[in-house]
Amino acid sequence: MKRPRNRLVGNLAAIALLTSTALSGVLQPDVRVPELFYSSLQERPFPIWISAELARTSDDRVDWKLFSPVEQDSLRRTLAVQDKVRSQEPGVKHLSPSQRSGQDQVHDENCTIFQQPFYHFSEEAQEPGLTGLVKASHGIFSASITGISQGFFLGNPASVLRIDISEAWKTTAKLDPTGEIFLVIPFARFAIDDKAFCTGTPESSFRPQIGQRVTVFVTALPLDKDSSLLYADPNSIIAEQSDKTLFIPPGLKDDEELFPAKTLGELEEILRRVTRRTDRLTEPSRRERDSRQ
């Protein structure tokens, strides 16, 4: 199912936008990602996404009032652990003034701890492997990354990607995106003051870049009021790397169905075959469910 490339829609003046900084540390003046996202759940008054620039005060401190009391407590505990680890690990490279102010990239050697938060947004248990991931996904998309912003998702360091969908391999009534789409991923490398905020381990994390082509498996429903913010867990993104080989996440590396996939084109052929097969497998249960409604 082909889809046209996304265009900016709606009243952008009503949305707080920023010029985001790519993870390479180079400013991208034409890339815009919202500074805040709010939950679709009305009982939550605090934003679920806060950009690092918005969370930084004028004197390079964390603006705590943006976070819920629970998130504040969790972040303060994490920073206390970070201070303790730093005092015991003299090999950790201290942040430069440009890193502390957000002007330059934070590297792995600046990180004292690598957070690995776990979010359970999926509605049901997932079978292992590619077939299980395809079955569990509300949407599967091929896309290009057109924007990157780092910040805090539910109080944890993360990144939000603006993606431009080129092909939809699977959609459902619950997830059929037509406007701007943003993707939360559990990876971050940024600093505020003398604190490095790092999520995702160096050896196994997907590191996004502007222009990179990705295939995304979305197993959770949209998270925000406008249904434009999606979450991708660490095992649900396959990406084309600079040498045209594939980054395959740890949870899928040993999947036999993916062994032949060395390029995005080969991955798409496998996806086409697997989605057709899983559609045939799930069709009877769909008819049964429809007959009961």
Three-class secondary structure assignment of 257-286: HHCCCCCHHHHHHHHHHHHHHHHHHHHHHH
Collapse the DSSP code of 30 into the 3-class scheme (helix H, G, I; strand E, B; otherwise coil) and give the result.
Answer: strand
Tens-place pLDDT, residues 34-88 = 999 999 887 789 999 999 999 999 998 999 999 999 999 999 999 898 888 877 7
pTM attached to this predicted model: 0.82
Q: Domains plus CATH for the chain?
A: 12-292 (2.40.50.120)
pLDDT at 124: 63
Grade residue 280 by pLDDT with cuts at 50, 70 and 90: low
Q: Which one-letter DSSP state was computed for residue 253?
A: T
Give the span between the Cα atoms of 200 and 186, in whole angstroms: 6
Tens-place pLDDT, residues 24-47 = 333 333 357 999 999 988 778 999
pLDDT at 158: 95
